[in-house]
Amino acid sequence: MIDFCDADRCPAAGCEPALCRGLGLADNVEVFERSSRVIPGGVSSPVRAFRAVGGTPYAVVRGEGPYVWDVEGNRYIDLVQSYGALILGHAHPAVVAAIRAAAADGTSYGAPTAREMKLAEAITQCVPSCALVRLVNSGTEATMTAVRVARGVTGRSKVIKFAGNYHGHADSLLAEGGSGVAVLGLSGSAGVPSSAVAATVVAPYNALPEIDADVAAVIVEPVAANMGLVGPAPGFLEALRAACDRTGALLIFDEVITGFRLGLGGAQARFDVHADLTCFGKVIGGGLPIAAFGGRRDVMEVLAPLGPVYQAGTLSGNPLATAAGLTVLSRLDPAVYDELATTAARLGDGLRAAIAGAGLPINVPVIGPLVGLHFASTPATDYESAKKTDGRMYAAFFHAMLRRGVALAPGAYEIAFPGRAHDTTVIDQIVDAAAAAATEVASKRD
Ligand code: PMP
């Protein structure tokens, strides 16, 4: 038997008490080095490895509300919030209770459930462009399948995506992705044959691309949140909608971040531009692995078993994930989104004043509850201008914040996700830390 668990002392199979309970008996370096021996780069997703900011990642043992704790027992105010998967904060009691109750009834069946029905109903009610919804396991699966559906419906192959938009790691969509692809300075990925991206056209964000009769779909982050935070220029989304209508291409909104984050209706409600297909993830699973895509009835009906476009998943519509997601959605309403926007505005105003006050070049875009940090003197409007962010300055600020107990994402192209758990006191603590951190960074500037 593999000796990896002291079952007498710890109820969770597979854990070592000192590591799992954050007893301060382990250290982050030890965990990272041991992980690196068995996991490439020591991480399950590249951005987490701190390559963009340097140093050793902290290994999390626990989260509660706005906080996470690492194995050394350090507490951080967490603005990562699982890259936007959490909107109510860590370990929200109602979400934990829902997961516990669901788990007691079994963790996966491979059969239809009433909870997946209810989650799909909730999405169709909140996002009227989605008449039908299919649940999947990750944002990557959602975008990959939405593109397949668009190709199946139109019989065309070309897909237009925008530079700096990230749609997960499906082969055809990796070209000039933001997020970790940008952080690592990659234009795409090794291992993707040119044939897989031959039908992908990359266009600059916020400019209307040429859409010809071979284009199956235009996929876009309606608010770009993987090259810092870049909003759509006035008329951009409307122009995409009109051009798709004219040419018969389908418009796919990747709302994996914006869905149920900008409001119940996502970016499409906010900008009143509606997609043919929409991808969801993150918030709809309350921190469990679930995502979805939905769209026009005639379009979605091409999916198996109704039609010829195949898609499937052993764990799709998972009982725990749907329980968590439904619990989160039941706690969201327009008043909550107003409150989140107020929180984000307070954070954005505070960060802007603190960092600019120290004499550093900074733009802090705020869109609804989303907050970006762009260390440059001019705002970003597309990938080219987003790349002007000073990555070294971000790294220095990141570490100065971490030392003061505030965890930002370890990459200059990621954004901050203040949520319901970040109350005014916590926001003001972040801003105070930012003022001291920015002063420190400014004093060490060459
Ligand atoms: N689309 C967008 C806009 C995203 O931000 C992400 C992930 N950050 C994805 C798709 C991919 O989602 P996942 O990591 O769940 O595959």
The single residue of 158, 161, 282, 387 carrying the catalytic annotation is 282
Pocket of ligand 1 contains residue 167 by CB under 6 Å:
yes
Number of Cα atoms under 13 Å in the Cβ half of residue 334: 3
Q: Are the CB atoms for 368 and 341 separated by under 8 Å?
A: yes
DSSP string, 122-134: HHHHH-TT-SEEE
**CB of 255 closer than 6 A to ligand 1?**
no
Task: Output the six-digit token pair for 326.
Answer: 């439904």
> Residue 120 in contact with residue 292, Cβ under 8 Å?
yes
CA atoms within 13 A on the CB side of 407: 23
Q: What is the pTM of this model?
A: 0.95
- Which strands form 60-64's sheet, in the order they lie side by side? 60-64, 67-70, 75-78, 406-407
- For tokens 């509606």, the residue is 274
Tokens of 165: 């938009």
Ligand 1 contacts CB of residue 137 (under 6 A): no
Query: 85: CA distance to ligand 1 center in Å?
Result: 10
Rounded Cα gap, residues 166 and 181, in angstroms: 8
Closest ligand 1 atom to 139 CA: 12
Q: Is 254 a catalytic residue?
A: yes
166 an active-site residue? yes
Is 394 labeled as catalytic in the residue annotation?
Answer: no
**pLDDT per residue of the chain (446 residues) written in tens, 0 to 9:** 444 444 454 555 555 666 666 556 679 999 999 999 999 999 999 999 999 999 999 999 999 999 999 999 999 999 999 999 999 999 999 999 999 999 999 999 999 999 999 999 999 999 999 999 999 999 999 999 999 999 999 999 999 999 999 999 999 998 777 666 666 655 578 888 888 888 999 999 999 999 999 999 999 999 999 999 999 999 999 999 999 999 999 999 999 999 999 999 999 999 999 999 999 999 999 999 999 999 999 999 999 999 999 999 999 999 999 999 999 999 999 999 999 999 999 999 999 999 999 999 999 999 999 999 999 999 999 999 999 999 999 999 999 999 999 999 999 999 999 999 999 999 999 999 999 999 999 999 86
**Residue 363 carries which DSSP code?**
B
pLDDT at 5: 46
| Cα 255 to ligand 1 centroid, rounded to whole Å | 9
Please classify residue 138 by burial: count the beta carbons closer than 10 Å to its beta carbon, then call 0-12 exposed, 13-18 middle and 19+ buried: middle
> In the prediction, which pLDDT does 178 show?
67
Residue among 144, 220, 257 whose CB has most ligand 1 atoms within 8 A, to mutate: 257
The active-site residue out of 58, 67, 205, 254 is 254
| 221 close to ligand 1 (CB < 6 Angstrom) | yes
Question: Which secondary structure element, helix H or strand E, spans residue 160, and what is its range?
Answer: strand 158-162
Give me the pLDDT at residue 192, please: 87
Ligand 1 atom nearest residue 143's Cα: 10
Residue 197 confidence (pLDDT): 86
Give the nearest ligand 1 atom to 282 CA: 15
Task: Give the type of residue at 369.
Answer: P
pLDDT of residue 130: 98
139 lines ligand 1 (CB under 6 A): yes
CA–CA separation, 26 and 37 (whole Å) = 17
Ligand 1 contact via 145 beta carbon (within 6 Å): no
Q: Does the beta carbon of 83 lie inside 6 Å of ligand 1?
A: yes
Distances (CA, A) of 349 to 1, 76, 90, 153, 360: 56, 21, 25, 46, 15
249 lines ligand 1 (CB under 6 A): no
